[in-house]
Structure 1
């Protein structure tokens, strides 16, 4: 699940390549810039989706894999339930197999996290993880994302996020500024003609089903992480045809994804980090009773916040940051400090040195304005995750997860502060009954979780696995959110799953231990 302060299996079949669609090389040109307000095509009825070949995006930091990719736009109806509405364009790329001698006939399609993150920015992680080693890798920006037309970026929220590091995390001034930014973005997008109700997981899933057909792909494999796992499970439930296998990583179950859920995931991930430290003699000896240390520091900072001037990670001019209890927790959940360093960082904080956490907090001041589609985030969160619950439910879940913590900290879900008032501003229809449905399927599935994941707790995989009759679930020790790029073992498991979906080799997980924790001498 996202943060305001930022940020799939049987025999192979022949793949009809994009060459049959007349795709052009990616080097021809970059995508023309287009804002949400530029004209979009309109049709008299719900037009069939189609793929239009075109040049690949040109990100600020060049992505080598795009130099040989075949790219274009998938054109789809913005709202399939409203014939006569406009058509939107979703940027897509097909990246060739790295070992082209004997490529597998079934490609793998990627579903990114967020919702709202730049899918193309994930390509280097996917390639380095071997996703395209012996098969084509297909990426498509979910509707409203960067390089799409329209792009539901909210520079207003980006600018708020940069300001927020200098404010108390859950206090009224931050809330007022954030709601102002949310309203300004909503007003601008709706004035441009964007139907915010159409930016949801059901439409996202239909987009991927249309992409497979538009590219004439008989069967493919699906890999999604975080929100992409929510999307992948929804896609499998609504559009099972043509799916060979589904792999999901850092799992967000559609049936369970509600705002209070974030508290149980935070408690599980942080608790597993502390338990791993207690199981390592050197860490246990040097940093005893970490749960108590964290509670003490949260209480202390919430009562007396620290204001510091620190440079953001990577360097730059120092920025003023406020470190209170809510900000401390949010930095931990967001892995602003590496898991292996959290015990040491808490000990330093206890002894008057807050630099690790303050520097991680300062990272929020560096915003890539316009790169994140906050409009998609708000539409999904407000229509699918928020309904049926309220601020008191969030507080109740927080008290259960972290007994004795200040209510001012527990009132805001980690990574999604002020979401309920924001949803009252965003004002999209309730889709909970449509989305909160279990996916029951015999399609071979792989479920990958990291034991240190404080965003999407590892235990949630069990609930999903029960409904997938041919599933394999693995928990990778010592890894946080988005496991595969961080774990060579997880990469091997995923590769074996894509090769043999019903009998993946998970042996490397046996006996795997977390990386040793950082020990600072007394």
Structure 2
């Protein structure tokens, strides 16, 4: 529970006494409406489904809050006696559950219908549940100046502050875009469906949301499966764990004769390039998306570290990192010009939900100190999760507080799936979360990455087995990545 001023606690206590003395009843369940929906599979096949709409408050603590509509697709169960509905929680934050169902996870959505109805939810502020227009800061980034960490942090904080002002003026209650509100949305969905429990299936930020549901509505969850685990205190990842990933990558390089000869010590090469860029920013030229002419931008190490952070979620991206640094070491910065300028040219635009959710989940002081200390020598510094912790404290009223981030204890049967080559969410931190689960179970995927559900059919089988109530395997071994070596 977030820390509250004493006057707020007194007011809350008085309201509780009034509620008890007046015999107040629980709020009636929210209503949900359905319409027939034709869903297209990745291969273009049509699946008969239902499009649901659930109306919830934008911020439950605000009595005058506007109502927002959450939309989802429901795939009806093929079972004769369906179990609890299975709710898919997409990652990001900001990814669409409905779009995910139309992608490579589609077969797993269909397979889970054997157990119960399967629901692909667009969380508040996302996709078909969008509630605010994208915002472009009124003062654009100055791309003519060296793009260092300090410059990017300063601009991003000012730009998001401007966008918060614009959204508020448009009638958006920005303090309603928190993981706690989304967790309450899941329970409101359960109540609207008229069921006592739901099962949860989430990945990355979706695991973070799922853990919040377990924290605040644990009795309403029958079972849960999470992959790419992000604990309630793990919005900001530890740089030392990224370094540990590259130790593992180095072992794979050393085991590959061709890669070892081509790349040698990858960490040493990375540090050399980063030091070079920090001392003398490199000018790169490319044409931004939708632009008619190229621009030239001077970049320091931080934008490159951000780019690498976006590449290392899965083995396929990790396998290209050594070749990229070898090219940069040879002075071929055109290799990163397009991706970097494409990303940097869009940094003035914000979508609301992704940024606000991370700011709200926040970071406690002790972890912030630890992250800063590890970032001093970390290969990617603190770039992996940009713009957090860089936006921490920008909106104090939205922070969910230390109570939200405190360790979770749960007896809900939960499967934790981790890939040993997941560069976004570390198996080490997944194990820390799992320690609080009396009925938690681990599945380790050797050489697996972040987007693990579709990476190997055995992972999907384990998900179905566990949600059925069975005991899945605890280890799956995939082939190591093949490093790209130019001829």
TM-score, structure 2 length as denominator? 0.81
Post-superposition shift, 1:438?
A: 2.4
Question: Given the superposition, is the C-alpha separation of residues 358 and 201 from structure 1 closer, same or farther in structure 2, using an over 3 Å criterion?
Answer: same
Post-superposition shift, 1:482?
A: 2.5
Aligned pair 1:184/2:162, yes or no? yes
Query: Which residue of 1 is the match for residue 21 of structure 2?
Result: none
User: What pairs with 1:64-213 in structure 2 (closer than 5 Å)?
Assistant: 68-96=48-76, 100=78, 105-125=83-103, 127-135=105-113, 136-148=117-129, 150-151=131-132, 153-156=133-136, 168-213=146-191
Give secondary structure in 1 for the equivalent of 2:218: coil
Give secondary structure in 1 for the equivalent of 2:416: strand
Q: Is the 8 A contact 1:111 1:231 kept in 2?
A: yes
Residue of 428, 442, 447 corresponding to 1:473: 442
1:59-117 deviations in Å (ceiling 9; x for gaps): 9x9995886331132111222233343322112211346xx476854432111112233
Post-superposition shift, 1:284?
A: 2.3
Give secondary structure in 2 for the equivalent of 1:147: helix
User: What pairs with 1:123-522 in structure 2 (closer than 5 Å)?
Assistant: 123-125=101-103, 127-135=105-113, 136-148=117-129, 150-151=131-132, 153-156=133-136, 168-254=146-232, 256-257=233-234, 259=236, 261-310=237-286, 320-335=296-311, 338-364=317-343, 373=351, 375-388=352-365, 394-402=371-379, 410=381, 412-417=382-387, 419-420=389-390, 422-501=391-470, 503-506=471-474, 509-510=476-477, 512-521=478-487
Post-superposition shift, 1:314?
A: 13
1:270-329 deviations in Å (ceiling 9; x for gaps): 333233222333322332111111111111122222222346799997664544311221
State which drifts further: 390-399 or 126-135: 390-399
State which drifts further: 376-385 or 450-459: 376-385
CA distance in 1, matches of 2:348, 2:278: 30
CA distance in 1, matches of 2:178, 2:412: 24
Question: Given the superposition, is the C-alpha separation of residues 103 and 126 from structure 1 closer, same or farther in structure 2, using an over 3 Å criterion?
Answer: farther
Give secondary structure in 1 for the equivalent of 2:203: strand
Post-superposition shift, 1:241?
A: 2.8
CA distance in 2, matches of 1:164, 1:62: 41
Which 5+ residue runs of structure 1 have no aligned equivalent?
1-44, 403-408
Residue of 51, 70, 77 corresponding to 2:32: 51
CA distance in 2, matches of 1:251, 1:393: 20
Q: Is the 8 A contact 2:50 2:73 kept in 1?
A: yes
CA distance in 2, matches of 1:78, 1:54: 23
TM-score, structure 1 length as denominator? 0.76
Q: Is the 8 A contact 2:200 2:223 kept in 1?
A: yes
Which 5+ residue runs of structure 2 have no aligned equivalent?
1-25
Question: Given the superposition, is the C-alpha separation of residues 276 and 167 from structure 1 closer, same or farther in structure 2, using an over 3 Å criterion?
Answer: farther
CA distance in 1, matches of 2:463, 2:292: 38
Give secondary structure in 2 for the equivalent of 1:473: strand
Q: Is the 8 A contact 2:36 2:49 kept in 1?
A: no
Aligned residues: 456
CA distance in 2, matches of 1:477, 1:164: 43
Post-superposition shift, 1:463?
A: 0.7
C-alpha RMSD of matched pairs (Å): 3.7
Q: Is the 8 A contact 1:446 1:471 kept in 2?
A: yes
Q: Is the 8 A contact 1:226 1:249 kept in 2?
A: yes
Post-superposition shift, 1:214?
A: 0.9
Give secondary structure in 1 for the equivalent of 2:311: coil
Q: Is the 8 A contact 1:117 1:145 kept in 2?
A: yes
Post-superposition shift, 1:159?
A: 10
